[in-house]
Every structure is written in structure tokens, then in C-alpha cells.
Amino acid sequence: MQGIILAGGYGTRLQPITLGVSKALLPVYDKPMVYYPLSVLMLAGIRDIQIISAPEDVRAFQRLFGDGSELGLTLTYAEQDKPRGIADAFLISADHIGDDSVALVLGSSIFHGAKFGTLVNAAAQKVDGCVLFGHPVRDPERYAVGETDEDGTLLAIEENPEKPRTNLAITGLYLYDNKVVDIARGLQPSERGELEITDVNRTYLESGGAKLITLGRGFVWLDAGTQDALMDASAYVQVLQHRQGVRIACVEELAWRLGYIDRDAFYRLGSRLAKSPYGRYIMEVAETG
């Protein structure tokens, strides 16, 4: 399975903060926002990942991650010159996807939960159709919401419903088989001129190939796309890390624990950041295991 992080767009809901920097490079407490979606793909067992961003931001992502080899990953970069919708990612990354299945995660999506890694890894092992992830929200009218049967088969998708039948918002993590590229090619732009991910999902729904996994109690999904949401996400990460003594979405630690890099390489990554608490944490974990 190939991975895509969609970090394009102008971050208009976060302006003026994003006038000079990509939204996905803003800090969520102690690390850039993009670390969180990258950690999701790593937990899914995906090592070949393409980051899509605006042309002016590509170099910043390259400066942050390089080719990914220091994390045991293969990272490539692609440009989205203007917002054309989430589904446009499959057209941009068609060569990257090739004949494989694909996981797409939005650059502002943050997932956390004790068994989230196990859940997403299992879901990514064999995708036949599409696998979406739903999370209960108190304001479902703001989202695309899904309705499922007892087996998790998706029965209906409603976009910004006035009277939602469920409170399961469809999150910013999507798993698809290889048909998604052709489906995206066949889409017509919506009234706002974008290729809508909901139209992709409805195509799978109509063929009976859509599944929705509910992230219930014990799981957290945050979309850090507004000032308040960004502050809430940072506060959440700060509280958990201080209380538990572990780092959320520490991609260096993930790379080591997944066996992508050895202990010495892990330690070296921390030593470069030794003046920061983040770097000292990596060094301490490398030394103590």
C-alpha cells in the first residue's frame, strides 16, 4: 500500500498565520503538524509516501524530511498548484500509486488512541473497495456523516445534513483499492470547482464496496484547521505527554520501534535536537529502551 499526505491548499481558516507557511508545518505543541499524519501512515505499515503541497512549500517539506531515508522511509513530493479538492490527490499521485492500493490522510488530521495503530494496520492489510473511519462528533451537521449496519458496511453518506441520522463524522483518513485512480479521473468538479472526496466514497458505496470503521470511546480525532482547533490539539498533546511521559507522533521513535532504523540511528536523530526536550526524549528512550 502506498501513502499520500495531502498538505496543499492555502489554510485560509488559519490566516494570517498561514500567509507565510504551510498549515501542515505549523506546530502542534512540540512538533510540526505533518508529523501526526505521517505517524498514521507509519502505524499502518506504509513506508512509501508522497507529500502533496503547494509549489512554494515543497522545499520546506524537503528540508524537514529529505528523502525519508533517515526514518527508514521513502518520501517523495508533488505539487498541487491550487486547491482542486481532496480527490485531486489521486490524479496528482497516480504514478506514485501505480498498481497498488493507497492510504490518503489529510495534513491537518490528528489521530490518537491506545489501539489505533493496531486498528489501522489491520485495516490496511487488504483493502477491497474503500475503508473509511468515522468518529462521533457533537456537531455532525458540519461534516460528511456515515450510516452503517451492524457489520460496518456503509449504508449512506450525508454531506452537511440539516438533520443528521448519525453523529459519525467521516474523518480525514481514507483507504482505497487501486480503482480509486480511475474513479477520480471520472469525477466532475462540484459547484465550488473541486473534485470531492465524498463523490469518490459514494461511488464505492453504490457498488457495495464501502466500509466505515467507528473510532469510538478511547480514540481521538482532531482536525487542527482553525485557530481554536489548533490550540485545542496542542493542549491535548501537551497534557497527555506531560502526564504519561511519552511523545505522541514521535516519528523517530516510531521508525525505531517498527524496526525501520536501528538504535544508533535513532539516537543520532535525537542528538541533533539535543538542546530541545524533544531531542533529549529521543536520546533517553534510545539509551533506556
| Tens-digit pLDDT profile for residues 232-264 | 999 999 999 999 999 999 999 999 999 999 999
With a cut of 80, say whether residue 151 has pLDDT above it.
Answer: no
Q: What is the CATH number of the domain that holds 9?
A: 3.90.550.10
Report if residue 230 sits inside a domain.
yes
Confidence (pLDDT) at 20: 87
Structure pTM? Answer: 0.95
The secondary structure of residue 153, as a DSSP letter, is B
**Domain span holding position 275:** 259-288
Confidence (pLDDT) at 48: 98
Report if residue 49 sits inside a domain.
yes
C-alpha cell at 18: 498561514
3-state SS class at 210: strand
Confidence (pLDDT) at 11: 78
Report if residue 136 sits inside a domain.
no
Helix (H) or strand (E) holding 179: helix 179-185
My answer on whether 176 and 283 are in the same domain is no
My answer on whether 79 and 185 are in the same domain is yes
My answer on whether 240 and 276 are in the same domain is no
My answer on whether 123 and 33 are in the same domain is yes
My answer on whether 176 and 277 are in the same domain is no
With a cut of 90, say whether residue 8 has pLDDT above it.
Answer: no
Confidence (pLDDT) at 142: 86
What angle is formed at CA 209 by the lines to CA 206 and CA 215, rounded to 5 degrees?
110
Structural domains counted in the chain: 2
Give the best-scoring range by mean pLDDT among 176-180, 194-198, 210-214: 176-180
Report if residue 206 sits inside a domain.
no
My answer on whether 85 and 30 are in the same domain is yes
Report if residue 138 sits inside a domain.
no
My answer on whether 85 and 37 are in the same domain is yes
My answer on whether 39 and 79 are in the same domain is yes
Confidence (pLDDT) at 108: 93
Give per-residue pLDDT as tens, 61-90: 999 999 999 999 999 999 999 889 999 999
Q: How far is CA 26 from the centre of its chain?
A: 15
Report if residue 88 sits inside a domain.
yes
With a cut of 80, say whether residue 10 has pLDDT above it.
Answer: no
With a cut of 90, say whether residue 14 has pLDDT above it.
Answer: no
Q: Kind of pairing, strands 144-148 and 210-214?
A: unpaired
What is the average pLDDT score of the chain?
93
Q: What is the mean pLDDT of residues 152-180?
A: 90
My answer on whether 220 and 274 are in the same domain is no
Confidence (pLDDT) at 225: 84
With a cut of 90, say whether residue 172 has pLDDT above it.
Answer: yes
Which pLDDT band holds residue 56 (cuts at 50, 70, 90)?
Answer: very high
Helix (H) or strand (E) holding 31: strand 31-32
Q: What is the mean pLDDT of residues 121-150?
A: 91
Cα torsion at 224, 33, 249, 44 (round to 10°)?
80
- Percent of residues, the chain, with pLDDT higher than 90: 77
Other beta carbons within 10 Å of 60: 17
Q: What is the mean pLDDT of residues 91-114?
A: 96
Which pLDDT band holds residue 226 (cuts at 50, 70, 90)?
Answer: confident
Helix axes 263-271, 277-288, angle to 10 degrees: 160
C-alpha cell at 82: 491550487
With a cut of 90, say whether residue 15 has pLDDT above it.
Answer: no
Report if residue 156 sits inside a domain.
no
My answer on whether 284 and 220 are in the same domain is no
C-alpha cell at 36: 501526526
- In this predicted model, which residue has the larger pLDDT, 208 or 176? 176
Report if residue 21 sits inside a domain.
yes
